[in-house]
Chain A
Amino acid sequence: MEDERDEMPETADTSTDATAAETANDGLATDLARTAEANKGRGAQKVERKAKRFEVKDVNLYYGKFHAVEDVSMTIEPNRVTALIGSSGCGKTTMLRSLNRMHELTPGASVKGQVMLDDEDIYRANVDPVEVRRLVGMVFQQPNPFPTMSVAENVAAGLTLNQRGISKSDKAEVVERSLRGAHLWDEVKDRLDRPGSGLSGGQQQRLCIARAIAVEPEVLLMDEPCSALDPIATLAIEDLIEDLKGRYTIVIVTHNMQQAARASDSTAFFNLEATGKPGRLVEMGPTQEMFTKPGKKETEDYVSGRFG
């Protein structure tokens, strides 16, 4: 508590320094302060398994002739949570989907540039997108468990679908491990054989997360994972994300700035110059800096709620 009070004057100073509206920043500042506090208590980031880094180089994304995202270069650090923020239509989801080669599933879509996953370009000529997607998992905005499968079958779906012959006991072990990893085991351990669609929204989303981590990816992409959930379920997911970064690199798209401030280590701000123009990466940096002392005015305007 004393620490927090000691923190306050600092942030207060920062607010006065910045030309941003103080009320908005105060809210974020409190969030940031709390996160910093929590992290302090924990010591250094607990890395259980060293995950991979993304190095995005001069990527341009198109839908047919439409130039959706322009000249993006950024680094996504391993075992960290990187948030992509920006107003609607600025290309952040498109950017996310290019990281696991889902973008090209849209008819006519194309990609220029390089996306390096630990020094391997996933867009190199003879790389199989299916393999990329096994290394880079994805969780979607709307929870989408497979309706014809039970909870356990859903979790194991990634393995059974991917041609790996897997024994029953191995499967059960993977299911339990993944459900524990997704903080869902206790809630569903007695109903593993019931349909996945019978769970609540928050549980379904954690089921999808369990499904995604069951195949042991290196990176987890999350496209607004909490926007369809209530606040309590949202908090549960955010706690989970905090836990998961020990094992995976996480990239999360969110339109909720408070969430980005709470849950991420780095933030990348995307924006459109004008309607019809491609989205671009305006600025990227450690979350604390981005929200309190951003480099560009555009960023500052966005995080202080002036637009978006």
Chain B
Amino acid sequence: MEAHTETTTQAGQILASATGGKRRAGDRIFSNAAVIASVTVLAILAGVAIFLLIKSAPAVTASASDLPDGKTLVDYIAPLAFGTVLAALIAVIVAVPLAVAVALFISHIAPRRIANTLAYIVDLLAAIPSIIYGLWGIFVLGPAIVPVLDWLAGNLDFIPLFKGPASVTGRTMLTVGLVLALMILPIVSAVAREVFAQTPRRLEEGALALGATRWEMIRMSVLPFGKSAVISGSMLGLGRALGETMAVTIILSVSGIVSFNLISQENPTPIAANIALKFPESSGLDVNALIASGLVLFGITLVVNMIARLIISRSNIQ
């Protein structure tokens, strides 16, 4: 009996002396730090929008005569936005079929043993800094593509895209679009590849059991299964292409015009390239105008990325 009372007191002491109710200091500090870090992340995202807005405001309220080129802000930004979207669209149109091909190659055609190595090689494309793409584009691809430009200008000039006259340096929208396509290819391909590789065996075997060829099986089972992955991957690639700066800045010979001619010396100027070219030497209201254009770019990429991520989350792709 006594022993029992003793242990009761001990238990009572142990449990009652626990900090209980009040959480221990270590827990509080740690979880608060974690929460603060997460809030900081959201704050940065909001902060980007806010600070850009603050610094754009003077340009929004200024009159055309004070702004660069003597245009109103809208007139100033619109052609830049056109340039951004045009370059990005070319990139996506070229990159997506290629990325799907690459993804299919790695997930269904190449031998398993080397599939991982191949994937790594393709992902290498994403690791290369954009300035290097810029140098390569202007010193290597540009000159190499001039014969193609000549051919296009000579034979397909009835299509407005290839009206010509062909650039002699190769510093055209077409070149830029191709380089951008190369840069976004790993992004689209990685997303597509993940999903293609995860096509349920029962879907694939169902097609094969009907006597389908490999391509037919891919068309019947793999591609439909990976459709939303390809779409969301393409949008991620689009977002990347919209925001790409250095490759475009170096390669493109810009004139700020609005034109669909992809092979000539005079090209639209994308927003990012415009900022990179003008910012270092600008001051005063010009800086505000540039920041305003950056805000527009931020908005466009934000929308594109949000749509892409929404598609991903709704279809539960990783």
Contact = CB atoms under 8 A, between A and B. Distances in A.
A binds B: yes
Interface of A: 50, 52, 117-120, 122, 124-128, 130-132, 135, 218
Given A50-B7, A119-B8, A126 B14 contact: no
B29 to A, nearest CB: 14
Tell me which of B8, B11, B15 has the highest count of chain A C-beta atoms within 10 A of its own C-beta.
B15
A301 B40 CA distance: 60
Contact of A120 (B3, B4, B15, B21): B15
B310 to A, nearest CB: 25
Interface string B15-28: 11011110010000
Main secondary structure of the interface of B (DSSP, over half): helix
B24 A118 contact: no
A52 B7 contact: yes
Contacts of A127: 15-16, 18, 20
Given A118-B8, A125-B21, A126-B20, A132 B3 contact: no
Contacts of A126: 18, 20-21
Contact of B11 (A125, A130, A135): A135
Interface of B: 3-4, 7-8, 11-12, 14-16, 18-21, 24
Q: Which 4 A-B pairs have the closest CB atoms?
A: A128-B18, A126-B20, A126-B21, A131-B18
A118 B21 CA distance: 21
A130 B12 CA distance: 15
Given A126-B21, A128-B20, A119 B15 contact: no
Contacts of B18: 126-128, 130-131
Contact of B7 (A118, A122, A128, A132): A118
Contacts of B11: 52, 117-120, 135, 218
29 contacts: A50-B7, A52-B7, A117-B15, A118-B7, A118-B8, A118-B11, A119-B8, A119-B11, A120-B8, A120-B11, A120-B12, A120-B15, A120-B16, A122-B15, A125-B20, A126-B18, A126-B21, A127-B15, A127-B20, A128-B18, A128-B19, A128-B20, A130-B24, A131-B14, A131-B15, A131-B20, A132-B15, A135-B11, A135-B14
B259 to A, nearest CB: 57
B30 to A, nearest CB: 14
Contacts of A52: 7, 11
A125 B12 CA distance: 14
A282 B94 CA distance: 69
A128 B14 CA distance: 10
B185 to A, nearest CB: 38
Tell me which of A50, A124, A131, A132 has the highest count of chain B C-beta atoms within 10 A of its own C-beta.
A131
A156 B74 CA distance: 69
A254 B252 CA distance: 72
A49 to B, nearest CB: 10
Nearest to A124: B15
B24 A119 contact: no
Nearest to A51: B7
A126 B7 CA distance: 20
A50 B4 CA distance: 9
A230 B134 CA distance: 63
A289 B16 CA distance: 39
A39 to B, nearest CB: 23
Contacts of A122: 15
A279 to B, nearest CB: 28
A89 B275 CA distance: 64
Contact of A119 (B12, B14, B19, B21): B12
Contacts of A130: 18, 24
A135 B7 CA distance: 12
Contacts of A117: 11, 15
A133 to B, nearest CB: 11
Nearest to B26: A163
Contacts of B3: 50
Contacts of B12: 119-120
Nearest to B3: A50
A52 B7 CA distance: 8
A126 to B, nearest CB: 4
A52 to B, nearest CB: 6
Contacts of B21: 125-126
Contacts of B8: 118-120
Contacts of A131: 14-15, 18, 20
B33 to A, nearest CB: 18
A302 to B, nearest CB: 34
A117 B21 CA distance: 19
A245 to B, nearest CB: 16
Contacts of A118: 4, 7-8, 11
Tell me which of B8, B20, B24 has the highest count of chain A C-beta atoms within 10 A of its own C-beta.
B20
A77 to B, nearest CB: 13
Contacts of B16: 120, 127
Given A127-B15, A128-B24, 20 more contacts: A50-B3, A52-B7, A52-B11, A118-B4, A118-B7, A118-B8, A118-B11, A119-B12, A120-B12, A122-B15, A124-B15, A125-B20, A126-B18, A126-B21, A128-B18, A131-B14, A131-B15, A131-B18, A132-B15, A135-B14
A97 to B, nearest CB: 19
A118 B9 CA distance: 9
